[in-house]
């Protein structure tokens, strides 16, 4: 079971995680944050963390699997001082924070656009960003799912060849409390610094720069070379004809890849 006092003792942040709600089980921590907000019970930096998320939501309407008491599953509320067009930078920044936090538990990971966390093309974690626009600016919920202490058998059969965990990568368990504190620390650092630096930091951790990828454009699957990200964090893919700006959806390596 997650130890709240341990998280608090490891936190280096000013705002993020200074209020943590722990639920032994829940449907989705992203939904929990929205609910707390609607009840007037959440302020910037509020975190909801659970040991057992039962109906986790992934990107593109997919389900997200979290192994009880083994995965790190949480959401954080942000009220960033940004334009709505810059939301992609939060998304990329969250990916950077995850990769950097994983170094604290000796795991080298990289990113697939926009924010899949991978080791050797196996998925270690993911980020679901949800936002609403209020009069004061965007309200953003960053939901993070990271595989930490799972063995291969802890995953459903259909996922086993596509995923990995901190435990699998380094041959021993990692401390979820430490990883959570490190992610929040790095995220706060990135958000309070120059957001314009995020695309460069993201690219330094990207696992498919210069590689051929599949991407979808107006409902059609196309192929091209991934050449980078623009200032707002959109993916750039060059085909023989032109460079496409990819604002939504997924990219995939041309060979069959984990989703």
Binding site for ligand BTN (CB under 6 A): 28-30, 53, 56-59, 62, 64, 73, 75, 116, 126-128, 143-145
Report, in Å, the least distance between residue 31 CB and ligand BTN: 7
Q: Residue 30 or residue 149: which is nearer to ligand BTN going by CB?
A: 30
Q: Quick one: tokens of 54? A: 């039962």
Q: Residue 59 or residue 234: which is nearer to ligand BTN going by CB?
A: 59
Q: Residue 105 or residue 127: which is nearer to ligand BTN going by CB?
A: 127
Report, in Å, the least distance between residue 146 CB and ligand BTN: 8
Report, in Å, the least distance between residue 95 CB and ligand BTN: 10
Nearest residue relative to ligand BTN (C-beta): 126
**DSSP code of 254?**
S
Q: Residue 54 or residue 239: which is nearer to ligand BTN going by CB?
A: 54
- The neighbour count for residue 143, using CB atoms within 10 Å, is 27
Q: Residue 27 or residue 238: which is nearer to ligand BTN going by CB?
A: 27
Report, in Å, the least distance between residue 57 CB and ligand BTN: 4
Q: Residue 102 or residue 242: which is nearer to ligand BTN going by CB?
A: 102
Report, in Å, the least distance between residue 30 CB and ligand BTN: 4
Q: What is the DSSP string of 2-71?
A: --HHHHHHH---SSTTSSEEEESSBS-HHHHHHHHHHTT---TT-EEEES-BSSEE-GGG-EE---TTTS
CA atoms of 35 and 20, how far apart (whole Å): 14
Q: Quick one: tokens of 48? A: 């909801």
Element (H, E) at 223: strand 220-229
Q: How many helices (H) and strands (E) does the chain have?
A: 6, 14
Over its C-alpha atoms, the chain yields an Rg (Å, rounded) of 18
Report, in Å, the least distance between residue 245 CB and ligand BTN: 21
First to last CA, the chain: 29
- The neighbour count for residue 196, using CB atoms within 10 Å, is 10
């Amino acid at each position: 079971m997650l130890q709240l006092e341990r998280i608090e003792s490891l936190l280096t942040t000013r705002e993020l995680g200074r209020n943590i709600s722990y639920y032994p089980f829940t449907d989705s921590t992203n939904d929990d944050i929205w609910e707390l907000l609607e009840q007037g019970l959440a302020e910037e930096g509020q975190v909801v963390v659970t040991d057992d998320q039962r109906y986790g939501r992934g990107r593109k309407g997919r389900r997200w699997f979290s192994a009880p008491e083994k995965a790190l599953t949480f959401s954080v509320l942000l009220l960033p001082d940004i334009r709505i067009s810059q939301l992609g930078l939060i998304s990329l920044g969250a990916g950077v924070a995850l990769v950097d936090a994983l170094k604290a538990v000796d795991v080298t990971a990289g990113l697939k656009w926009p924010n899949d966390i991978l080791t050797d093309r196996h998925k270690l974690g993911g980020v679901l960003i949800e936002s609403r626009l209020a009069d004061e600016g965007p309200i953003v919920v960053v939901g993070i799912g990271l595989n930490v202490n799972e063995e291969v058998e802890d995953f459903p059969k259909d996922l086993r060849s596509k995923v990995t965990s901190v435990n699998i990568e380094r041959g021993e368990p990692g401390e979820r409390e430490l990883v959570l504190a490190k992610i929040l620390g790095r995220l706060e650092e990135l958000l309070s610094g120059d957001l314009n630096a995020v695309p460069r930091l993201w690219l330094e951790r990207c696992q498919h720069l210069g590689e051929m990828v599949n991407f979808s454009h107006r409902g059609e699957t196309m192929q091209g070379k991934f050449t980078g990200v623009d200032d707002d964090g959109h993916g750039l893919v060059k085909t023989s004809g032109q460079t496409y700006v990819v604002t939504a959806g997924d990219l995939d390596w041309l060979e069959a890849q984990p989703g």
